[in-house]
Structure 1
Amino acid sequence: MTKPKTIVVKIGSALLANQELLTPRYGFLQRMMEDIAHLRSEGWNVIVCSSGSVALGLRIIGETPESAGVSDKQAAAACGMPLLLNAYKQVGHEFGFDIAQVLLTLGDFEDHRRFLNTRNTVHRLLESGIMPIVNENDTITTEEIRVGDNDRLAAKVAQMVGASDFIILTGVDGLYDRNPDDPEAKFVAEVHDVNQYMDATKGKSTLGTGGMATKLQAANMAQEAGVTTWIAQGEVDRPLSRVLDRTGRATKVIPNPEPLSGWDSWIANRLQMAGSLVVNESVASNIATGDRPIRRSDVISADGDFTRGDVLHIYDNKGIERARGLSDFTSEELRVMINNPDTDAEQLLGYRTKGEIIRSNNLVALDTRHLLWDAPAALSEG
């Protein structure tokens, strides 16, 4: 029996909520869910990553997108989520299938055990023919612990479930080489390296938290996991089918022909930076070709408050990110070791250890197709 393909669909707030009335756009939902029903009948598993709860709740608490602060948005999410899910549920029943809500936070992606638990839950729902609707739990998250945009959240879901395709529906028909309002803007049909287009992606929608830049960041995360990403217009009939059968225009982000393993992809594709290290040039130059750990003697400086098992970003002494890897120590333990280089690690920490900060099998070198993160100011200044 052929294993069904899985598609992850990200739907933005501007498609789901009327920008003036801040009410559900049932016409769009009808078109979308009818298309999803068609894909399901053809054997596809479909997962929806849906924005919209904050936008739909703002009217209830008497706020607007411009006036709402963090606590307002948290309250709005609590009010808007029932409206959003009820709309999905009503329309889903019209087409004969059930939905389930999966609320996630940053920690559900960054902690590997919670990541696996979430994956198991989503797979179990799909096995029962239930369509998962995933959203960040905006009611409890703050700026410090939130994913920040549903584009990258959806890309992590695509990576998590091993999706074949990831479709980001938006208000334009894809990526342009500059602002699409510019009469000289040219449509980009295929993207191999998203780095080439980051400068052309400034700005964001009124209701959403991300613009085209976050969509390319999400696409980069997906392509490194071997997932094909499509950026397409949502305000059309059959918005998903026309992408998959190539009858509509969309930007295709080509997956890496040699994708990372599930473990390496989880390490390399981060949503937030837990901490970072600067290593000496000898180690930095050999990360891509060598098979050796990062030891305490390799580290020049460290930044961030992290725990054992957090993923650290590794920089050379010029501030260029070279790798990401799983720390075997807390930030406090690491600083004690690098500040006392001549004292045995066991004596400093009170337990036996080789002093390997990141083991070689927990270290992933970044190639030229990864979007690199800037070094924290504290590291740059150090």
Structure 2
Amino acid sequence: MSMSKRIVVKIGSSLLAHSQELTLRYAFMHGLMSDIARLKEQGYEVVLMSSGAVALGLNAIGKSPEDAGILDKQAAAAYGQPLLLNAYKQVAHEFGFDIAQILVTLGDMEGRRRFINIKNTLERLFDNGIMPIVNENDTVTTEELRVGDNDRLAAKVAQMIQADHLVLLTSIDGLYDRPPSEPGAEFIEKLEDVSTYLAATTGTNALGSGGMYTKLQAANMAQHAGCSTIIAEGIIENPILSVLEGERRHTLCTAIGTPASAWKVWLTNRLQVAGSLILKQSAADELVSTPQAIKHTDIVSVADTFQKGDILHIYDEKGQEIARGLTNFGSDEVLLLARHPESTTAELLGYSAVPDVITTKNMVILNDNHLSWEVPTEDLQQVAS
């Protein structure tokens, strides 16, 4: 484990591109890279999560943010990405450091092997003093197969590199207890339980794909990995250092206790649901009190189509999410096993396998501070006919 100080900084399209002209805001970029240069001088290793390629490419294909479809955005990203990276490279050289680009997909972050490969690439770039710039690969992703927001993607990267801080720069100065446009809205300077304020975090802007809701989701993911999250306005002068040094208002989401192992953090923090299991209430209650393997005889229903090695969300019959874990079987196999409890795995599947659907070492019991996903209501297949 590296002993270096590490920070992930995420900036959205609305900070990088003028909303009307869809051209780069060079003044903001200079202030940002100046701060990063100073952070590097202070011993930080920095990852920049940067949107902006789609916004910069929309003019070339004759579309606006409001009327661009998925194919338009893919083409715009292909056009805008070299413009964005060329600008970053030029400004970084002015401040004496170099950059590299890593484009990722949802599958890269959710698949364990590719997740480790990206981590190894980041580590090698750090070793050579090069700052990685990470973004979702918008040229190849579809609506069904994309992360959808760089806030949670930034949290996954913070988890990946065991960062100390995640800084989310946005268009407002932090979190309020209700929409800031409402009379009496109060600013939240510090919080530990982000679920308290989820109801007040609706809305996005035209250029960005996330809002305050995704920022709180990201903060929750980061805090369980031992990383504090700062939500602040993206100003031109010292946008990062001014919040790290407490010079201006921001919201701090604190890290929670001692982080779990890297394996369990990866198991817990998902960007998308692969599939779900609903357990008998008695089995669910027992699982929470005494963590143990999930058997096919514990299962009431199966949601979605998943493969061996996917991470499943596990619910009790009351609809409460209680755990997440890596499955030893695909969804069709789980249903077959659960519907024939009197038969052996070898008899039903034609091969010998560990009988547990999810083993204890590949499962995490959720605590009260984890944000839960809603229980699935579609594509739900009952075990009993």
TM-score, shorter chain, exceeding 0.5: yes
Q: Which residue in the other structure is 1:39 paired with?
A: 39
CA distance in 2, matches of 1:56, 1:21: 9
Q: How many angstroms does 1:354 deviate by? A: 3.6
Q: How many angstroms does 1:289 deviate by? A: 3.2
Which stretches of structure 1, 4 residues or more, deviate above 2 A after TM superposition? 286-289, 378-382
* Structure 1 length-normalised TM: 0.98
1:23-62 superposed matches below 5 A: 23-62=23-62
Contact (CA 8 Å) 1:301, 1:379: kept in 2 or not?
A: no
CA separation of 1:9 and 1:347: change in aligned 2, threshold 3 A:
same
Report SS of the residue matched to 1:358: coil
CA distance in 2, matches of 1:350, 1:357: 16
Q: How many angstroms does 1:360 deviate by? A: 0.6
The number of residues matched between the two structures is 381
CA distance in 2, matches of 1:146, 1:22: 23
Q: Does 1:171 align with 2:171?
A: yes
1:1-382 superposed matches below 5 A: 3-378=3-378
CA-to-partner distance for each residue in 1:268-300, whole Å, 9 max, x for gaps?
100000000001112211323313100011111
Report SS of the residue matched to 1:84: helix
CA distance in 1, matches of 2:354, 2:47: 44
Q: Over aligned residues, Cα RMSD in angstroms?
A: 1.2
* Structure 2 length-normalised TM: 0.97
Q: How many angstroms does 1:348 deviate by? A: 0.5
Contact (CA 8 Å) 2:98, 2:130: kept in 1 or not?
A: yes
CA distance in 1, matches of 2:281, 2:128: 52
Q: How many angstroms does 1:237 deviate by? A: 1.4
CA separation of 1:22 and 1:338: change in aligned 2, threshold 3 A:
same
Greater CA drift, 132-141 or 347-356: 347-356
Counterpart residue type for residue 288 of structure 2: A
Q: How many angstroms does 1:236 deviate by? A: 4.1
CA distance in 2, matches of 1:239, 1:329: 47
Q: How many angstroms does 1:4 deviate by? A: 2.0
CA distance in 1, matches of 2:207, 2:44: 30
Report SS of the residue matched to 1:357: coil
Contact (CA 8 Å) 1:151, 1:214: kept in 2 or not?
A: yes
Report SS of the residue matched to 1:317: coil
Counterpart residue type for residue 37 of structure 1: A
CA distance in 2, matches of 1:109, 1:154: 11
CA distance in 1, matches of 2:167, 2:87: 21
Contact (CA 8 Å) 1:319, 1:380: kept in 2 or not?
A: no
Report SS of the residue matched to 2:81: helix
CA distance in 2, matches of 1:3, 1:309: 32
Q: How many angstroms does 1:379 deviate by? A: 6.8
CA distance in 1, matches of 2:353, 2:36: 53
